[in-house]
Every structure is written in C-alpha cells, then in structure tokens.
Structure 1
Amino acid sequence: MPTIVKCPTCQKDVEWADKSQFRPFCSKRCQLIDLGDWSDESNKISSPMKTGELTQQDTQSLIEDIEAALAKNEDSFFKE
C-alpha cells in the first residue's frame, strides 16, 4: 500500500514514491509557491537557533548535504 501525503500547498493527495517528482508537493507550481513563502518569510522556523548551537563542522556538513541534494537535480529544475 503506497504512502499518501497531503501537498503542503494545496492539500491534494500525493503518493510518496520515486515517480512523484516533486514530493511532498503535487507539482512544480506548488513547490515554487512554498519556496516563495520561505523567501518572503511567510514561513519560518518557530524558534531561532541559539548562538553556538551548531559547530563549524555541523554547518559544513549541512552545506555539503544541501549541495549534494541540489546536484542531483537536472539543470532544467532551476530554469522552470
């Protein structure tokens, strides 16, 4: 039985599988709407991080994880 989640933007059902390219979003449109909400700070982390909570090594590890995730996307992902 496939796992079904709600699209965070429009609440449509989305199957959590490799074939669902934009999961947890139902579409590129919903993904970009969510990104826009983060960029204009409509969405934000509920409590600020305390100074010194992350070590330099933690920060570098997070950056490397993000870069690796971005590298998996085709160039067209960033152009649409």
Structure 2
Amino acid sequence: MTKTKACPICKKSRSEEFAPFCSSRCRDRDLNQWFSDGYAVPGRPAAPEELAPEDWELQE
C-alpha cells in the first residue's frame, strides 16, 4: 500500500497535474503567499550597500 502525500495547503490528496498541490486553487494560494511575503527564506541581513535605492529611506 503506497501512502500519497497530502497537499501542503489543504491536506487533500495531491493531483499529478498540480503536484505537489491538489488543485490550481491551492497552487495559486501558495504563490500568493510568496508574493505577499507570507513566506520567507532565512538569511543574513543585507548590508546597507547591498540594499536597493528604494529601500534606503527605510534604513534611516
């Protein structure tokens, strides 16, 4: 018996078409989390000289 992994968003069975999600809705919800900074990849803080010009005012 093979156990299928669940969709990371809603925990329903995954679909081959939308893997690792069960549907386009869950896939789009996950993408929206990335776009709205709901997810973050850990890393060291950026040095001031590495910041984009539009971020300079936020550091002052």
Q: CA RMSD in A?
A: 2.2
In structure 2, the residue matched to 1:68 is none
Identity of aligned residues (%): 33
Q: What TM-score does the superposition give when structure 2 sets the normalisation length?
A: 0.62
Which protein has the bigger helix share?
1
After TM superposition, where is structure 1 displaced by more than 6 Å over at least 4 residues in a row? none
Which protein has the bigger strand share?
1
In structure 1, the residue matched to 2:7 is 7
Q: What TM-score does the superposition give when structure 1 sets the normalisation length?
A: 0.48
| Equivalences, count | 46
- Displacement, 1:49? 5.8
The counterpart of 1:25, out of the listed 21, 25, 40, is 21
- Note the residue ranges of structure 1 that are not aligned, 5 or more in a row: 52-80
- What does the per-residue CA deviation read over 1:12-55, in whole Å, with 9 as the maximum and x for residues that have no partner? 1226xxxx11001000000000000010011111x21688xxxx
